[in-house]
Amino acid sequence: MTDKQTVKFGDICREVKLTTKDPIADGYERYIGLEHLDSGSLKIKRWGLIAEDKPSFTRVFKKGQILFGKRRPYLKKAAVAEFDGICSGDIIVMEPIRFSYDPSLIPYIVQSNIFWDAAIKSSSGSLSPRTKFKSLSNIEITLHEKEFIHRKKSVLLMTERASSHARDVCLAGEKLSFVLKKELLVGSWSNEKKKQANCGLIPESWEEERFDLIGKFLSGGTPKKSNESYWKGNFPWFSPKDMKTFNLENSIDRVTKEGALSGSKIIPEQTILFVVRGMILAHTFPVGITNQESSFNQDMKAIQVNDEFDPLFILHWMIANSSNFLSLVSTSTHGTKRLSSDAFSSLWVPKPPKEIQIRLVNSLENFRQLLEGISTREKDLNEIRQNLANQLME
């Protein structure tokens, strides 16, 4: 190739629609949902086990294929599979078909800002927009001369390696943070003599409290969708899809304050929110804390802790004990996962003096901020790579 040529994405990449009725019998062990794909990253660092979670997915993917999140494409979720498995129907499976063009560059094209902008523009649906491969296949790609491609590829690979290392550090830090929470919040660091309590071994001077008695529990709701004026505001309205981080600043859907008062409940900042209904409870216990006055939907519960607890102490305790919450999840007759309030009385929370709670929280928050700094660097590297990849399309 000596001169630049313009082709459509569908000329160099195709959609793969292989399915399975019995993934385990067909030799597949792992599955990928949208929650396993990290925004802006080409690497898959997390997955679920089919035998444990029994997902209803039937779409098959193979090692080396590209997994593209077609639901809410503005989240920029696309990665290269490093193993065979099954995935959500909200993921498009793609693979190169034109090998005169370096197939290893296609994932970078998919992760370019130009490609994402086109995917977002082609998506449809108000609350949960989706795009289709048919739309993606019409995106125009510029095929540059080989020397140009070789130069860009070396730089893209370097930024990808740096980004991947940052992601590895973040994941290792998250695991360490989980262990620190488990140890710190029950006082295992203290030289004080321990006593056996319902929540485990704790220092003798500490108390404990039943989880359902730590504060005021509230249920949310949804403003009427038929009243458009309720959905044209700038007031946060949190739902499970917003629970990707425990620092709840912005929601995908926003309402007016009138809408929040009509169909939901208004909660102040420093209110804990957690998911109590939805299939995500099959494997994950999402929990977070609000940074401003907000509202929330009926698939969530809110906690306004009493004065004897620091809200962040309870938040970190809930994260550290996510497995205990998941063990209480039941399945309704319709197959939906549910965390019943009736089960909360079986959980006990350690209750150190308030000043100790604050000291422990400060230590955990300092570590969290360190990880956030590394995560920010990773996002910056991903943005640089996406901007560089734009040049492959121009």
User: pLDDT tens for residues 75-125?
Assistant: 999 999 999 999 999 999 999 986 656 788 888 888 888 899 999 999 988
Return the CATH class of domain 188-351.
alpha beta
Backbone angles phi, psi at 240, to 5 degrees: -55, -30
Average pLDDT value for residue range 38-61: 91
Average pLDDT, the chain: 90
CA distance 367 to 193: 27
Does the fold of domain 188-351 match that of domain 5-142? yes
The H or E element spanning position 274 is: strand 272-275
Per domain, the residue ranges of the chain are 5-142, 188-351
User: pLDDT tens for residues 172-189?
Assistant: 888 888 888 888 898 989
| CATH, domain 5-142, list 2.60.120.460, 1.10.10.10, 3.40.50.300, 3.90.220.20 | 3.90.220.20
- pLDDT score of 2: 47
Given a contact cutoff of 8 angstroms between Cβ atoms, the answer to whether 339 and 142 are in contact is no
At a CB cut-off of 8 Å and minimum separation 6, what does 227 contact? 259, 262
- pLDDT score of 103: 83
Average pLDDT value for residue range 256-281: 93
Stated length of the chain: 394
At a CB cut-off of 8 Å and minimum separation 6, what does 219 contact? 265, 298, 301, 302
Whether the per-residue pLDDT at 3 is higher than 70: the answer is no
At a CB cut-off of 8 Å and minimum separation 6, what does 257 contact? 233, 235, 266
Q: Which string of DSSP letters, residue by residue, matches 64-78?
A: T-EEEE-BSGGG--E
